Amino acid sequence: MELCHGQRASSVLGSGVRSTSKHAPVNPAFVPGARCLTNPASQAAFSQAQAPQARAAARRSAKNVAKPLTAASWVPSAVQPAAEAQAVPEQAQAKPQPVVADLETILQERDACGVGFIANLKSIQSHTIVEQALRALGCMEHRGACSADDDSGDGAGLMTQIPWKLLKKEMPSINEATTGVGMLFLPNDDALEAQARSIVEEVVGAEGLSLLGWRQVPVAPEVVGRFAKATQPRIWQVLISGKPGQTGDELERQLFIVRKLIERSKTAAMGAAAEDFYVCTLSNRTITYKGMLRSVVVGAFYKDLVNTDYETAFAIYHRRFSTNTTPKWPLAQPMRILGHNGEINTLQGNLNWIASRQNELEHPVWAGREGQLLPLCNAAESDSANLDHVAELLVRTGFEPQESLMLLVPEAFRNHPDLCKEYPEVVDFYEFYEGLQEGWDGPALLVFSDGKRVGARLDRNGLRPARFWRTADDTIYVASEVGVLGDVISNAQNVVAKGRLGPGQTVVADLESGEFAETAAISKAVATKQPYQEWVARSVRRLEDLSPLAYPAEAKMDNATLLRLQAANGMGAEDAQMVVEGMAQAGVEPTYCMGDDIPLAVLSDKPHMLYNYFKQRFAQVTNPPIDPLREGLVMSLEMRLGGRGNLLNPGADTYRQVLLNSPILLESQLEAIAKDSTLGSKTFDTSFKAGSSGSLAAALTKLCSDVEAAVKAGCQCVLLSDRASETSLQPEKVPIPSLLATGAVHHHLIRTGLRSDTSIVVETAQAFSTHHAAMLIGYGAHALCPYLAYETARQWRLSTRTQSLVKSGKVPDISVGDAQKNLKKSLEKGILKILSKMGISLLGCYHGAQIFEAYGLSKEVIDTCFAGSVSRIGGMDLADLQREAESFWAKGFPEKAMSKLEDYGFIQSRAKGEYHANNQTMSKLLHKAIGLGSGSKTDASAYEAYMAHFESAPPHVLRDCLALESRRAPISVDEVEPAADIMKRFCTGGMSLGAISRETHETIALAVNRIGGKSNSGEGGEDPIRWTTLSDADSSGKSATFPYLRGLQNGDTATSKIKQVASGRFGVTPEFLVNADQLEIKIAQGAKPGEGGQLPGKKVSPYIANLRRSKPGVPLISPPPHHDIYSIEDLAQLIHDLHQINPAAKVSVKLVAEAGIGVVASGVSKANADVVQISGHDGGTGASPISSIKHAGGPVEMGIAETHQVLVRNELRERVVLRADGGFRSGRDVLVAAALGADEFGFGTVAMIATGCIMARVCHTNNCPVGVASQREELRARFPGAPADLVNFFHFVAEEVRQGLAQLGLRSLDELVGHADYLQQRDAPLAKTRGLDLSFLTTYAG
């Protein structure tokens, strides 16, 4: 006899012995109760045991004990009635408080997948469908990945109809119509398993249902990999009979309630162990077999799936590629409704919106039990799991599954020619639900089923492949690629129809009616279920109808007041002239060059606006950024003002909203909104008292309290205003930073469950760039009116200086109205650009999604105003922010009248402005040290001065706040590895030929090849002449091969050992690829992550155009890699292809630091990359929008530390070389990067400086005065550099590294790599850095 898991032998044998078996192969056995024995005479026999619902009830009252069942009593007539319904367990009753989603938790799970389904339209059940699904799943192995053991799959599984035939062989008495089957993962511990089963039994008993028995699912644990086996659960099925008369949808709802109550009870009772107890499915129609398995072993692991009695009319199959190498069994797919291939980019916002309104979700079918279904979502689960939760609620409430996904993942219904032609009715459906439910946006192929229908839907961008075909026997196949059954040729004659899903399209196979429907028919059917056109007409007003566009032709304040307001609200001369006036003039965000070499805001001794303490997040690898130009059709800036209403029971009176075409409001539009009686708008002053300790915190508390009261009283539009005028400018009345006020109100309303009852509009002087606007919207604002920016644009056009420039033809002649229109247009285009970096199409989805990370803000600030945002280094508290806000406001009250704005030098280097690491003093010292222009004669004393310059400079990056310390005694430098070995680790950045001149590009390559390092081609191809070895250099260093270069030597090569490739990159040919030592896939660039390369037309010379296969003078912008590198599995495919075309070359993947990069790098490692490069936000560029240079990407130190730690933790570190790149200028930078985990080190801007760059910062204009970054022949002739100059620099750096290693008592860099315990945080030099905590960087990963 074999004891079932968790069975006390004493219950039958009178012994106290427990089973200790964890993973022994098991055969199926139904168990009518929790304590049981498998009958040795027959695998289908049932042992005698106590009914579980009676056992649970017995704890409460002896009178509820049910009659024991025997094996012979399993017949329909003898099925036991449900126990008397009991009260729901207390811990499962109360409505939960809304919990804000934490980005740190969300970032732990990132994935992409292969998915498909097979369905028989005649609803004929067969084992053939299971066999075909397993075969198709096996062909999806390349769409998945394995852990470091190369055996534990990230997840694979099938969803099918319940295999009643198989189950009835073991339990003939089952009534299919009234029975639900649960597939459960239980803890792999006897006591915890018993507790989990007890919870199930208690909930079932309390609901008045009958638990018919337990069945241990037969598995083969020997096929499970080491990593997966460590967390493998015990897998059981539970059979539950509904209440008398409960069948169909009513039974599905009852089982849904049971599962939700189990989830709430387990959380309350089991604590942390609850995550090992998971109900995969509990349904009368569907069941899921899944696990942390490779595709090819799913059938081997689950013995049921190869049993010919397992029959079904459909099967959904799914293979997961998790970038996290410690994936969990429950997160394997399919889920309960969905199988998802893709990534939801707006997840944090979606979770927060769900949390804020879940207590208001009501429908009569739930009979007041909606509270027991909450919480609806969980940030610790994957995006797929959370989308599945919402879809499941809608389906159980009565929505059809295709209808649910249409409203959750809407197609682009505006300006869609096919839609308007074929099924225009659906426009009103989408427009109505836009007011109730924000979209779950991101690349997605969703396969779904409720057991009655099976279908697939593609997101609005269509960036996931999905093909379908129908055979003569009425079988429908959908797959994310062709050939999954290996019968493309042999079965061709049986295919009667086929196609592919386009953006936003759906197909559905109805197993009840036998019909197969495509998008047009589905959309028409869904859109005509309700009078949506009538509902929209009653529910939605358009802002244009309330207030036509009106641009004032005159200034609204005098110039002196404007200057004071600008200064008091943080606007400097650069902001006014380069940003606001630049946008007003041209209608586009201004472009700049180089990188961001000023201190992080928290390290600066200058006050910074709050926005500067945040960095924009961006998509890389697991999901693609998109191109806002190419994808303009699917992108939208529409927003709604007003309360949301009840999603579950919509109608004509559900909401009353105002539709905005843009979140950027004109002053006249704001006025109309403020006066709108339907919205019940109310304006709140956002200010605090200067000089009073704690007044900012107190003002925020009062603001939130006042807004809460107003919303409870019916206010559907909260206006937060810092508007000040000449009469209201008071030195003691300081405006609360608008971002702080917006975030505080937004999160307070979430916590109080009121957020979906109102909207937030911000009237502010503190928003005048695209980054500012995006942040306000990302943290909760529905719209904003940047009144000071508008006034700045008006006064710029009206100024005498501008009028003179217009007359001279230097500035286009535009009206005052056009200047404001251009400003508005620029902000809108910039917001679209920021959305596209994250792969998001709809502003309504970006709204509240908080796609930022903080650098320099304390937990107090985050929890109060930006809850859920990542802030890993601590920093300023509210008192610090109060001091910074007061220091800005004081600038509006100068002793003498102002004549101009202060130039802070945040963008351009200024003598009295912000510190720039790449400054002229630094470049002069370096040029002297390496002998630039003096025959490459080195000057060691000058390099010492160069090092001293940085030692005395203010800290500007996180590594400046770290000290290298060792417990070892110093050693002689003679014992340290030679400089030549260290220099082999040096690389140069991916600077493209075109962004820099031919002379610069080739000189850098020559120098790096001499030291044994690796230069990088950047994007743009490479001239084949550079692949030859130089043999014609004369004694003066000249060569006919490269007549424009100096300092050449025979044996030199000008090839770039690293050659860059990616989607849409120019100049990539087979010849180019085979002449590489390393092939770099550029996913992101430090200076502008989420965007493609940008080369102004004036820099596209005939030579550059020839290399790039383009036309001279035409601007070149490389698209983001979303058309063929759309996911982690596609990256794996490209890595494979590159290995095939050049087997000798290693493949590197270039990423940019951001929170979660370690998980991404894990995926890249599992995709078989050889090198992972992490770049910092401060990387250089030839041309980029200013907001991208300043506000996207994270510090390289954080990126390297996280990547190293995660790779070590997941046993992947030895697979890859880790390269760091981001503003490195010295040997000390190399030492710190090595301690953080870097093996190799990239130098970008400093390499250009070493070849002659003087930091003129005009790269984007083609006017570089020394020919380093220009394509103009006369300027290139001035190029001063020679290869030996850069070689000298690298020698100095290597020797500095050797000296540092000797001081640490180390003999090689290898001894330092990854030893963050050699790093200690230095004392904070500034008051606002006293709260910094760099323990994240000083943590030793082992």
Count CB-CB contacts under 10 A for residue 141: 17
Do 912 and 936 contact (CB within 8 A), yes or no?
Answer: no
Helix (H, G, I), strand (E, B) or coil at 23: coil
Q: Please classify residue 492 by burial: count the beta carbons closer than 10 Å to its beta carbon, then call 0-12 exposed, 13-18 middle and 19+ buried.
A: exposed
Give the count of beta carbons closer than 10 Å to the beta carbon of residue 971: 15
- Joined tokens for residue 225: 């990999």
Cα–Cα distance between 717 and 665 in angstroms, integer?
14
Q: 926 and 920 in contact (C-beta within 8 Å)?
A: no
380 is written with which tokens?
């610790």
Residues 6+ apart with CB under 8 A from 1248: 991, 996, 1000, 1004, 1180, 1268, 1269
Q: Which strand (E) or helix (H) includes residue 279?
A: strand 278-283
| Tokens coding 844 | 């309504």
As a whole number of angstroms, the distance between CA 209 and CA 206 comes to 8
At a CB cut-off of 8 Å and minimum separation 6, what does 801 contact?
A: none
Written as one string, the DSSP assignment of 389-412 is HHHHHHHHHT--HHHHHHHHS---
1292: number of CA atoms within 13 Å, CB side?
Answer: 29
3-class secondary structure, 860: helix
Q: Count the Cβ atoms, other than its own, within 10 Å of residue 870.
A: 23
Q: How far apart are CA 478 and CA 780, in angstroms?
A: 39
Q: Which helix (H) or strand (E) holds 1293?
A: helix 1283-1304
Q: Going by DSSP bridges, is the β-strand pair 540-542/657-660 parallel, antiparallel, or unpaired?
A: parallel
d(CA 195, CA 941): 73
- Which segments within 1051-1161 are labelled E, that is strand? 1058-1061, 1078-1082, 1094-1095, 1116-1117, 1146-1152
Of residues 285, 198, 288, the one with CA closest to residue 242: 285
Q: Give the torsion through C-alpha atoms of 767, 771, 776, 782, to 10 deg.
A: 100
Give yes or no for a contact between 448 and 408, defined as CB atoms under 8 angstroms apart. no
1029 to 642, 1023, 1041, 1052, 1283: CA distances (angstroms): 70, 13, 10, 6, 15
Please report which helix (H) or strand (E) contains residue 510, including its range. Answer: strand 506-510
Whether 113 is a known active-site residue: answer yes
* Alpha carbons within 13 A on the beta-carbon side of 1109: 8
Do residues 726 and 557 make contact, with C-beta atoms less than 8 angstroms apart?
yes
CB 383 within 8 A of CB 434: no
Q: How far apart are the first and last CA of the chain?
A: 47
Q: Give the CB-side neighbour count of residue 859, counting CA atoms within 13 A.
A: 3
What is the spatial distance between Cα 1148 and Cα 1175, in angstroms, rounded to a whole number? 13
- CA–CA gap between residue 109 and residue 120 (Å, rounded): 34
Query: Which one from 4, 113, 146, 717 is the annotated catalytic residue?
Result: 113
The kind and range of the H/E element at 1191 are helix 1186-1191
What's the sign of the alpha-carbon dihedral 1070, 1076, 1079, 1082?
negative
Query: Active-site residue numbers?
Result: 113
